[in-house]
Structure 1
Amino acid sequence: MIVLGIGGILGHGAAALVKDGELAAAIEQSKVVRRATRGELPMEAISGCLTLAGVSTADVDTVAIVRPLSPNFHLQLRSVFPASRVVLVEHQTAHAASAYLASPFEEATVLTLDRGGDIRCGSLWQAVDNHMVLRKELFYPDSLGDLYGRVTELLGFQACADEHKVQWLSPSGNGQFHSLFTEIMPFDREGWPRIDRSFFDAGRLTAGGFSAKFYSRLGLEDGAPIPGEIRPSLASGIQRATEDVVAALAGSGRNLCFAGGLGLNALLVASLERSANFERVFVQAAAGNAGTAIGAVLYAWHTALGNQERVRIPNMSLGPAFGAAEIKQVLENCKLSFRYLLTTGELIGNAVRLLGEGKIVAWMQDRMEFGPRALGNRSLLASPLDPYSAENLNAFIKHREAFRKFAASVPAEVAAEYFDVGPNARFLATAGRVRSGHGKTFGSAILGEDTIRVHTVAREDNPLYWQLLHAAGAATGLPVLYNTSFNLFGDPLVCTPRDAVRSFYSSGIDAMFTGNFLLEK
């Protein structure tokens, strides 16, 4: 049985495919076509999924589509899949399914929160076995995601794109505006937030649209620029208030599943993991709109088609991979000098050597990750033992703000020696704390006092990357590498060898491993 899920049509389009009970592929359209798409059937992502599964459009039994849709979308769909059954999935339902039906839980509270969705910007469910029952809904404009986006714009960043910057700025702020944002998000008598619109000016279309009342509470003239010295505290205020409200919305219980755009906020996820309200928390790693493609395919598999056994999801490396012949053809067409490393030992040995020399290494291996985070297949790597590695990554390669730190990848079985971190670190969906005695080692990656992004790597999830981390540990005594996404200038994560070559030669990256090919500058 072949089931295809399509989500994020109005932004962050993606496709996911289940074949015979296993999630065989999931691909975001923007990573393939190298541009943002909106309102289109994500044909390149669909084609990629079909190819990876070894099937054609005619083999697809069911297509599950997530609302909202663009006009005439159904005509595009019918032209490509004329004989397939179509299942329409509501937006928040897809988010909920992407979290719960991908989780290891047999019962859970399920919370979804995003900016707008399909007018509904949040939902609360109770799930047992493969069934989810809707309990409450949150409607726009009472949107936590919208308020967070407004603060993003107020701080000079781009709403609907740079909310992660506000998150990572927040640990360097203090709590002086926490109460202000709590006041903006009061609870109604049912215990759900109702945004106080008096803090907004409908006629102000810039800087988040905040009103004179809001600026007065900041101690500023109406519409005045935000002074640099209070920007971190504004970020801290919205972050901490959001954490409080989300915890209240989730309630308490044994298991919590979480998805929607706010699920991409790793500090928020960490606060849920540390809360005593739930024993276990599972967050969909691709919690945003692209992840609704996974939600759609899982929902159709269980609800529309009646399958009882859960779909197997081995890891998030669900995109295309490229063989030696394909990589070699690109390198030779670009007239590049390279070395081919004959064995895995030689590949890892050269990577450890270069990292030990303080080099920034691009690492492109196996299948591309699904979701916004690099998990060791499309990564830029550096050694924490190099005191300049983080600065070099930020200033000369990623060209981004100094407060945006890099993740520390560590083998899962030794992570507790260095970090206190929750289970969602498997897919870089949470943040942890550096354990006592290791603060100096990871100083360049620490946010605030001791917060750090942590990626725990299990051997079964990524065998080659796991081997690399252990080899680095054998050589230096520290089995940890800094990891950030292999992309530049706001581009999507690299997908193909040609994407990798373009990024490598457009940046200050020192060396690149793509498959068993090594390129050095």
Structure 2
Amino acid sequence: MIILGIGGILKDAACAVLVDGELVAAIEEPKVAPHGPQGGLPIHAAMMALQLAGVEPGDVQTVALARPFAETNGRHHLHVELRELFPSARIVTVEHHQAHASSAYFASPFEYASVLTLDRSGDFRCGSRWRAAGNQIHLEKEISYPDSLGDLYSRVTHLLGFQPGADEHKVQWLSTAGSPDLAALFRSILVQEGIGLRVDRSWFDNDRMNGGGFSARFYMALGLEDGAEIPADMKPRIAAGLQSAIERLVIEMAGEGENLCLAGGLALNALLVAALERSGHWKNVFVQPAAGNSGTAIGAAYHAWHVVHGRDQRAPMTTLSLGPSFTSEEIKKVIENCKLGFRYLLTTDEVLEAAITQLAADKIVAWMQGRMEFGPRALGQRSILASPLNPYSTENLNVFIKHREPFRKFAASVPVELASEYFDVGRNARFLATVGRVRDAHRKTFESAVLGDGLVRVHTVDPQENPLFHKLLLSWGRKTGLPVLYNTSFNLFGDPLVCTPRDAVRSFYSSGIDALVVGNFLLEK
């Protein structure tokens, strides 16, 4: 049975393909058509995903469409378009938070779980709690907009001078530099009601369009004049207060038990995931790593397989390497068309040695191998790498390549079997969805990546999932005694992760990256 899931139509459109219940391909439209319009079907991504699955559009038996979608087009318009594209398919629609919940539970390794979904808004809802067992998920509680944790996070994002709806992750990382003494203020805004929530609207001014729309009451509580610009030294305190309040509230909302699954935009908050892992309230916590709108494509497909078609067979998510890969011939054609010099590396050992030689010389290396990752995080397929032994590596990455704020640190990639020697971290580090702590013996080594209180972003690399990147880390460890590399996403200026060799070459020559290892090809400046 071929099922195509489509989600995030209004923002972050994506698609996923299930073949007999197994997730075999998933791609976001902005990565393959970065200049295309938002608000439509992810046609380019869908055609590419089906090609990767080895099937034709006419082979698709079910198209599962996650809400919401543009009401100006209307359901009828979308159905007509889908019928033309997939003439043999049954079309089903899936409520937004149902898709989030399905993406978390059915992707997990659990036979039963509680599922919590939290975001800004979706179908007028911003949160829900579910009870899941076998192939069924049952709604226990839902939270309706505007009583939204995600909305408050976006308001604070705006207040601190960032772009709401895009830069919430910056607030998360900024919070690690501040004291959480303002947490009580945010708990006054967020009124818990059992496993539900009510937001006290008196803290907002509906007529104020800037600064997150906070009211005079909020500014007074900060000791500022109404509408005043937030002082620079207060911004980390505000971020930390918000983060602390939300962590405590979500832990209380989640309750306790054996298995907890998370999805929704708020589940992209790695500090929140770590807080849940360490709360001691749950034996196991699993976050669907592409937890935002794009992940509803996966959830819609899983929902169709298990709920619509009633199938019991489970195939949990084992990798996010679900996008396209490129042959040596395809890569070579791009490089030669761009009239670039290169060195062809005949064997895997030569590929590894070339990268290690560059890294050992304190060079910044772009690494493009295998299938593109699904979701917002680079997991060793589309990565920029640097040596932790270079004291200037994070500064070089931030200032000369990524052009971003110094409080945003880089992940440390480490073989999963060696991770505990250097870090204390939960299982969600496999998909970079949580944070860990540096072991005391290695604080000095990783000080440039530490976020605060010894926190560090950790990516544990499994040899079954990403054997080449795992070998690179082990080879680097044999050479240096430290099997850890700093890893950040291979993209520039807010663009999506690079997808094609042409994307990689363009980003390489538009940045301060020193070398590019793409497939079996080495390019140097």
1:80 aligns with 2:85: yes
Between the aligned partners of 1:383 and 1:48, the Cα distance in structure 2 is 35
Task: Report SS of the residue matched to 2:88.
Answer: coil
Alignment of 1:457-468 (within 5 A): 457-468=461-472
The match for 1:148 is 153
Q: Choose the corresponding residue for 2:98, options 75, 93, 96.
A: 93
1:303 aligns with 2:323: no
Between the aligned partners of 1:483 and 1:453, the Cα distance in structure 2 is 10
The match for 2:352 is 348
The more displaced of 31-40 and 391-400 is: 31-40
Between the aligned partners of 1:152 and 1:57, the Cα distance in structure 2 is 41
User: Which consecutive segments of 4 or more residues in structure 1 shift more than 4 A?
Assistant: none
The match for 1:361 is 365
Between the aligned partners of 1:199 and 1:60, the Cα distance in structure 2 is 49
The more displaced of 47-56 and 306-315 is: 306-315
Alignment of 1:440-455 (within 5 A): 440-455=444-459
In 2, are the aligned partners of 1:341 and 1:347 still within 8 Å (CA)?
A: yes
Q: Choose the corresponding residue for 2:499, options 487, 495, 498.
A: 495
The match for 2:162 is 157
The residue identity in structure 1 corresponding to 2:122 is G
In 1, are the aligned partners of 2:135 and 2:310 still within 8 Å (CA)?
A: no
The match for 2:15 is 15
1:267 aligns with 2:275: no
In 2, are the aligned partners of 1:13 and 1:37 still within 8 Å (CA)?
A: no
The match for 1:406 is 410
**Count of aligned pairs:** 520
Task: Report SS of the residue matched to 2:99.
Answer: helix
In 2, are the aligned partners of 1:126 and 1:132 still within 8 Å (CA)?
A: yes
Q: Choose the corresponding residue for 1:102, options 107, 131, 135.
A: 107
The match for 1:510 is 514
Between the aligned partners of 2:281 and 2:523, the Cα distance in structure 1 is 50
The more displaced of 32-41 and 127-136 is: 32-41
Q: Deviation at 1:412?
A: 0.1
In 2, are the aligned partners of 1:152 and 1:162 still within 8 Å (CA)?
A: yes
Structure 1: gaps (5+ residues): none
In 1, are the aligned partners of 2:432 and 2:458 still within 8 Å (CA)?
A: yes
1:213 aligns with 2:234: no
Between the aligned partners of 2:159 and 2:35, the Cα distance in structure 1 is 26
The match for 2:342 is 338
Distance 1:279 1:37, change over 3 A: farther
Task: Report SS of the residue matched to 2:442.
Answer: coil
Between the aligned partners of 2:349 and 2:457, the Cα distance in structure 1 is 29
Between the aligned partners of 2:265 and 2:442, the Cα distance in structure 1 is 32
Task: Report SS of the residue matched to 1:437.
Answer: helix
Between the aligned partners of 1:448 and 1:50, the Cα distance in structure 2 is 44
Q: Deviation at 1:313?
A: 3.2
Alignment of 1:126-275 (within 5 A): 126-188=131-193, 190-275=194-279
The more displaced of 37-46 and 319-328 is: 37-46
The match for 1:438 is 442
In 1, are the aligned partners of 2:109 and 2:316 still within 8 Å (CA)?
A: no
The residue identity in structure 2 corresponding to 1:102 is A
The residue identity in structure 1 corresponding to 2:141 is K
In 1, are the aligned partners of 2:141 and 2:195 still within 8 Å (CA)?
A: no
Give the TM-score normalised by the residue count of structure 1.
0.99
Q: Deviation at 1:67?
A: 0.6
1:395 aligns with 2:399: yes
Q: Deviation at 1:191?
A: 4.1
Give the TM-score normalised by the residue count of structure 2.
0.98
Deviations along 1:132-160, one digit per CA (max 9) or x if unpaired, are 11000000000000000000000000001
Q: Deviation at 1:20?
A: 2.8
The match for 2:43 is 43
Q: Deviation at 1:36?
A: 6.5
The residue identity in structure 1 corresponding to 2:213 is G
1:119 aligns with 2:124: yes
Alignment of 1:52-63 (within 5 A): 52-63=52-63
Between the aligned partners of 1:312 and 1:274, the Cα distance in structure 2 is 24
Deviations along 1:382-401, one digit per CA (max 9) or x if unpaired, are 00000000000000000000
The residue identity in structure 2 corresponding to 1:162 is D
Q: CA RMSD in A?
A: 0.8
1:377 aligns with 2:381: yes
The residue identity in structure 2 corresponding to 1:63 is V
Deviations along 1:419-446, one digit per CA (max 9) or x if unpaired, are 0000000000000000111011000000
In 2, are the aligned partners of 1:106 and 1:128 still within 8 Å (CA)?
A: yes
The residue identity in structure 1 corresponding to 2:515 is A
1:421 aligns with 2:425: yes
Deviations along 1:352-409, one digit per CA (max 9) or x if unpaired, are 1110100000000000000000000000000000000000000000000000000000
Task: Report SS of the residue matched to 1:194.
Answer: strand
Distance 1:248 1:3, change over 3 A: same
Between the aligned partners of 2:6 and 2:333, the Cα distance in structure 1 is 32
In 2, are the aligned partners of 1:487 and 1:503 still within 8 Å (CA)?
A: yes
In 2, are the aligned partners of 1:126 and 1:135 still within 8 Å (CA)?
A: yes
In 2, are the aligned partners of 1:113 and 1:123 still within 8 Å (CA)?
A: yes
The residue identity in structure 2 corresponding to 1:453 is R
The residue identity in structure 2 corresponding to 1:207 is G
Between the aligned partners of 1:20 and 1:95, the Cα distance in structure 2 is 21
In 2, are the aligned partners of 1:12 and 1:36 still within 8 Å (CA)?
A: no
Between the aligned partners of 1:168 and 1:201, the Cα distance in structure 2 is 27
The match for 1:30 is 30
In 1, are the aligned partners of 2:147 and 2:197 still within 8 Å (CA)?
A: yes
The residue identity in structure 1 corresponding to 2:166 is A
Between the aligned partners of 1:36 and 1:388, the Cα distance in structure 2 is 37
The match for 1:68 is 68
The residue identity in structure 2 corresponding to 1:266 is A
Between the aligned partners of 2:348 and 2:22, the Cα distance in structure 1 is 28
Structure 2: gaps (5+ residues): none
Deviations along 1:73-120, one digit per CA (max 9) or x if unpaired, are 222212212221011100000000000001000111100000011101
